[in-house]
Structure formats: structure tokens, C-alpha cells
Chains A and B, each alone.
Chain A
Amino acid sequence: MADEFLHIENLVKSFNGNTVVKSVNLAFNKGEFVTLLGPSGCGKTTILRMVAGFERPTSGTILVEGKDISPLPPNQRKIGMVFQAYALFPNMNVEDNVGFGLKIGRVPRDEARARVEEMLKLIGLSGYGKRFPFEMSGGQQQRVALARALAPKPKMLLLDEPLSALDAKIRVSLREEIRAIQRELGITTMFVTHDQEEALSISDRIVVLNAGHVEQFGTPFEIYNRPTTRFAATFVGTLNTLAAKVIDPATKSVSIDGQIAIIPSLSSAARSGDAISLTLRPEAISLANGHARDIVLDGTVSEVAFLGAVIRLKVNLGENALHLDTFNDQHSPPPRYDEKVKITFGGSDILVLGD
């Protein structure tokens, strides 16, 4: 690929014989915003820190613009980094924090001052130059940290859960801001989070990690709609799993808690009596109010959660239960607890997952 920027090959990291990153292969394009997403302890931070140079890979290579960066110490990698706990230097005011990398890089004073001013404007904190970190809110501090990382014009930006110390509102607005700034500067970015919504909303591509290996690498659309592994499907978004029993492979009919359904995508290798599981996103299922799709099942409402624009229902089918989302319609109230309902979904909505 012509504009490939970062290339990670067979990256492995062990701590005292305990392998936490297992042969990771990734390639980022120039200017791309890539998110590492995965549960706590899956090795996101470790990968990031290997790229930054704070951890030495046990094996494997990291190439930036085709060059192996492993011999370079962190202070020569020209990589900007933003930490979860801001890590602003408490002895310096905002200006000096942002200007630190420029001072170290011997940028002439006037030029540095202009650059600091420009960065403060970029993060919307012009006029805050003389403030000290302890005089600022968490969100402001994290923006300063971003400006500090970007000021020396690094080749790449690394962010390790930069938003998780902030409260929900700021988290959303700041992530949009980070994304906008990243677009404007066109800087290749590696962003770490364990929040799937955050990952889906701002990334060009997402790396789904689990226990040190890559489960799936793709755009948010691909990850959500076409998960290739069960882990990716369950970790990103909500997934219903229905236990079913094959009745007749020839007619593709199965029994779900005694109700018969035809599954067009049923594998031809299935045999009569096989136990199988069907997976579905909540939004693929709807209440069959007159209009029915491929499959219709009877159930009883066992939970009604009003989430605002969406209402999430839990419907019991017997042994199985599934969640479904319906839009909030102010003219027709949702079904009530214990009400009998019919649900419906299309055969093509069923996800076929490798394990």
C-alpha cells in the first residue's frame, strides 16, 4: 500500500513468561484514526507503549514509514502521547506545558510562542496560557495535554484512554473535538479505549483485541454489522443468542422453544436434532404489528426499558429470551410487562459467526 504509515508485524510481548500480546499484525494508513478496542487487560496499553518505546517487544517489528523504530529510544521517535491522567507538568503553566516539546527541540523563541498560541487556539483555550494545571478542570487539562503532544508536530499521536477520567458529557464533546483536530492536522492516530460506543463513533478503523490477539480489524460499519468472530459480535453492541434445535435440514426448519421457524441460512451440513445457536442484533428484531417478516415468534414481555429515542424490550420465548429495540412513538405506547407479543425478524439478519 502506497500510503502505509505504521506496520506492526508478529508483535509479541511477555512479562515474566506471561504472554500478554500474542503475534499482533496491523497496518495503519497515513492520516488514519485507528482505535484499539478490547476489555481490560487485553493488552491495548502494552501495544501502545511498545509503539511509543516504553516497552521493548519480546519479538516482532514495528515499522514507521518503512523504517524499524526499535533501536530508537522514546525521546527520538517523534511520537506524541496523551495519557489517561493528563500528566501535565504541575510546575509549569499551560503555555510552558504546551511549549515544552518546542523548548526541548530548540525551536526559536518567537516561533515557539506563535506555535503555542496556535495550539491553544486549536483546542479553544486561548487566554488560558498563564493558568496552572491545578486551576483547570479535567477536560481543560486533557485538551492542554493534547496541545502539548501536538505542538512539536509529531509524526503520530497515541492516546491511551484519554477520556475515561472525564464525566459523560465532556467525554462526548471532547472526543468529537479530538477527532476534528486529528482530521484538520491529518495526523496518524492510535487511540485506546474499552468503550465500544466511543470506538464506533470516532474511528476510521477499529482493532478489536481479546486476550492479546486481534479478533477483527475493520471499519466501524464492518465491525458492527459483519463481525467475524463471536467475541467481536458480543463485545461490540448487544447480541441475542437463541438456542434452537434442527428439525429437518431439507426444509431448513428449526424449533425454538417449541415454535417452528424456517432459517434460510441454515448450514446444509446440519443434521436433524442438532443443537444450534442463532445470533441477532436487538435492532434487527421488531414487534409484528400486522407486518411479518421471515420468522415470527410468540413471546411474553418481561422487561421494558425506556431509553429515550429507543425502547428496549426483553421478550421471553420459554427457555430463550431476547432483547429487541423499537423506536419510541409518542402516539402508541409500548407493550406492557407480561403482555403477550409477536416478534419478527428476517432470515438474513441472523449473523453467522465463527468461534
Chain B
Amino acid sequence: MKRSKLWAWIILILGALYFLLPLVATLLFSLSIRRGTYSLDAYTNVVQAPAFQQTFTFSLVVGVATIVVGLLIVVPAAYFVRLRAPQLRPIIEFVTLLPLIIPPIILVFGYIRMYNSSSLLPLTNTALGTNILLTLAYVALALPYMYRAVDTGLRTIDVQTLTEAANILGANTLTILVRVIFPNIIVAVLSGAFLTLAIVIGEFTIASLLNRPAFGVYMQNVGANRAFEPAALAVISFVITWIAMGMIQLLARFAPKTAPRTD
């Protein structure tokens, strides 16, 4: 009765072929820049290119900014909805679904129309303004992930009791949020942050349409002009995604109180 089933193995092996072959192919391809031998030259070329370093740093900085701004928006909202204004929950949850319903290209199209040089808030006039707009666009993309992560974190602690306890000790709301609530949901928040980073760091559509020197745009350029370096970039990206997801898994292990994730 307890034997593995043959069909299950067959499907698993076919699936493994489909998912692993491109990875193997990409890896081998990235190593074959020199005819007849494997070498890491494609990686050296990529990593040493100033454009790689600049765009990667740029995207990393935007990613971190996205996380910070996102948390500033999401944590108070999630906290108040959970504690004092549950009647707002349906609205908030609907809003967190919007970025999934509206494709990013639509969002950025709307931004370009709304925040252009002739508008009330001409963000696209300056480089700084556009960077801010890019960050805010990424906050919008990451909203569902962040809200969900923070809300999960809040659900696993007794927000109400913690708040009341701190209140009795004389803490005000800001102190409670920063000193009591946040440290208790830090693990959940960090997994949301890593997921956000994984999404943002190679993002192409929005960065490209806002003309930002982002990593995704750089990758697309390399892809259009080189043969082996794109494969190296794909391998690097895949490793980054693995690291981000691995961190989330690791964090989940450190937080036994956190509800199990589906991924």
C-alpha cells in the first residue's frame, strides 16, 4: 500500500527535466564563451562592467527604499485595521488586490500621463522626481506581498494585549508601534522584504518606461547586444532569487509562531 506510484515518478521526472534543463543549459551556455573549453569569462565580463555595478547598485537602493516606504505605509494601516478599525478591512484588502489586477505596464502608463511635466505634480521633470516615482511604483507592486506579510505577522501575536499592556505602562501609539509591535513582527516583515527585493531588483517594464538606469533595463540591453553574457546574467538572477526565497524559508524556521506559508 505504501509504495510510491509509478505515474508519480514519471510526472516528477518529466517536470524535473522541463525545469532543470533550462537551468543547466543556461549555466553551460554561460560558461562556453571560449570555443572548446569552459570558462568564467562571461561572468567576469558581466561583473566587471561598470554598467552592471551601477545598475545593480541602483536597483538595490531602489529596492531598499521601496521596502522602507512600503513598511511606513503598510505597518500602521495593518495595525490599525487589526486593532481599531476592522470595518476598514474589506477596503484595505480590495486595495491590496489592485496591483494584481492592474498590469504594471498600465500603472506606469498612468503615471507617465498623470505625473508628466505639464501636470500638477511634475515628478518626471527631474531625475530625483522620477526615482521617487519609480520607488512608489514598486511600492504599489509590492503592496500585496508586504501587506500580507505584515498582517500574518500581526495575526500571530496578540496585538490587543500587547497594546493594552504598553498603554498601561504609559506608552503612546507611536512608541507602541515602533518599540512593541514592530520588533514582534520583524521576522514576518523581513520575509515580505526579501520577496519585494526579489521582485524589484530585476524589474524591467516600469524602469524602462521611466528611463531609469535599473538592473532590468541593463539586462535587456545586454541581451540585445551580446550572446553569452545574458546567460551569465540569468544564472546570477536565478541565484539571487534563490537566496531571497531561501532567506524567507530560513526566517520561517526561526519564527515557529508564524503561520505556515504556501511557498
Residues of A at the B interface (CB closer than 8 Å) are 54-56
Q: Which residues of B contact A56 (CB under 8 A)?
A: 1
Ranked 3 nearest A-B pairs via Cβ? A56-B1, A55-B1, A54-B1
Contacts of B1 in A (CB 8 A): 54-56
Q: In angstroms, how far is the closest chain B Cβ from the Cβ of A86?
A: 24
Q: How far is the CA of A56 from the CA of B1 in the complex (A)?
A: 7
For A55, list chain B residues within 8 Å (CB): 1
What's the A-B contact tally at a CB cutoff of 8 Å? 3
Tell me, rounded to whole Å, the shortest Cβ–Cβ distance linking A156 to chain B. 21
Contact with A along B1-12 (1 / 0, CB 8 A): 100000000000
Closest Cβ of chain A to B158, distance in Å, is 31
The answer for the CA separation of A54 and B1 in the assembled complex, in Å, is 8
Q: What are the residues of chain B within 8 A of A54 when measuring CB–CB?
A: 1
Number of B residues, CB within 8 Å of A: 1
CA distance A55 to B2 in the complex (A): 10
Nearest to A15 among chain B residues (CB) is: B2
Minimum Cβ distance to chain A for residue B205 (Å): 41
Which residues 135-191 of B have a CB within 8 angstroms of A?
Answer: none
A191 to B1 CA separation, bound complex (whole angstroms): 24
Residue on B with the closest CB to A53? B1
Q: In B1-60, which residues have CB < 8 Å from any A CB?
A: 1
Chain B: CB-nearest residue to A54: B1
For residue B80, give the distance in angstroms from its CB to the closest CB of chain A: 35
Using CB atoms, name the residue of chain A closest to B2: A56
Q: What's the minimum C-beta distance from A58 to chain B, rounded to whole angstroms?
A: 12
Can you name 3 A-B pairs with beta carbons within 8 Å?
A54-B1, A55-B1, A56-B1
Docked complex Cα distance between A54 and B2 (Å): 11
Q: How far is the CA of A57 from the CA of B119 in the complex (A)?
A: 79
- In the complex, the chain A residue whose C-beta lies closest to that of B1 is A56
Q: What is the CB-to-nearest-CB distance from B144 to chain A, in angstroms, rounded to a whole number?
A: 30
Interface residues of B in 79-116 (CB under 8 A from A): none
**Nearest B residue (CB) for A56:** B1
Q: How far is the CB of B2 from chain A (nearest CB, A)?
A: 9
* Nearest-Cβ distance from residue B233 to partner chain A, whole angstroms: 48
Q: In whole angstroms, how far apart are the Cα atoms of A55 and B1 in the complex? A: 7
Q: B153 to nearest A CB, angstroms? A: 33
Task: Write the nearest CB–CB distance from A287 to chain B, whole angstroms.
Answer: 54
Q: Which of B111-138 contact A (CB under 8 A)?
A: none
- Residue of B at shortest CB range from A55? B1
Distance in angstroms between the alpha carbons of A83 and B255 in the assembled complex: 37
Q: How far is the CB of B3 from chain A (nearest CB, A)?
A: 11
Closest Cβ of chain B to A27, distance in Å, is 26
Measured in the bound complex, the distance between the Cα atoms of B1 and A31 in whole Å is: 31
What separation, in Å, do the CA atoms of A195 and B1 have in the docked complex?
31
Q: Give the distance to chain B from A76, nearest Cβ to Cβ, in Å.
A: 16
- Please give the distance in Å from A57's CB to the nearest CB on chain B: 11
